[in-house]
Amino acid sequence: MTLPASFSPVPRAARLFLSLGGLLGLLSVAGGALAAHLPDAMFAAPSGRVLAREAVEMGMWHAPALLAVGTLLCVRGRRVPLLLAGAAFALGVVLFGGAVGWTGVTGRHLGPVAPSGGSLLMLGWLLMLVDGVRR
């Protein structure tokens, strides 16, 4: 039996999280280069470069987490805790990293955006724990 050219054994959600993990890794490396090489005048906050690096670091830590979610979805199949963990990682890193990076570059704090993103990141890890215990 031959499979159609459009057939992919990798589930759609797994491909999404694997792609997001790769994109986040790429953006984190690019952001790290910018944080390292931009002139100090580009950072409005007194500790702007440190904040930018913090945002980049959070992205770099969660790129492999998204890759892990995608890989686990391939191995274990569609599981709600994994899907929710991946969504929490993706949205959480955008909110946390985006807000912290924004503060570093503009000097303006976005209120509860960064803590909300951080809470989503923690929720993602909790969901990974739940999925691991349930397995």
What is the Cα–Cα distance from 92 to 81, expressed in whole angstroms? 16
Instruction: Please state, in angstroms and rounded to a whole number, the distance separating the CA atoms of residues 121 and 8.
Output: 30
* pLDDT tens sequence across 64-105: 999 999 999 999 888 899 999 999 999 999 999 999 999 999
pLDDT of residue 93: 98
Residue pLDDT, tens place only, 9-64: 678 999 999 999 999 999 999 999 999 999 999 999 889 999 999 999 999 999 99
| pLDDT of 8 | 60
Indicate whether 2 pLDDT > 90: no
d(Cα 112, Cα 86) in Å, to the nearest integer?
Answer: 22
| Token output for 54 | 């913090």
pLDDT of residue 72: 94
> Which pLDDT score is estimated for 34?
94
Compute the distance between CA of residue 25 and CA of residue 104 in angstroms, rounded to an integer.
20
Task: Tell me what pLDDT residue 10 has.
Answer: 75
pLDDT of residue 124: 98
pLDDT given for residue 68 in this prediction: 97
Inform me whether the pLDDT recorded for 134 exceeds 60.
yes
Average pLDDT over residues 128-133: 94
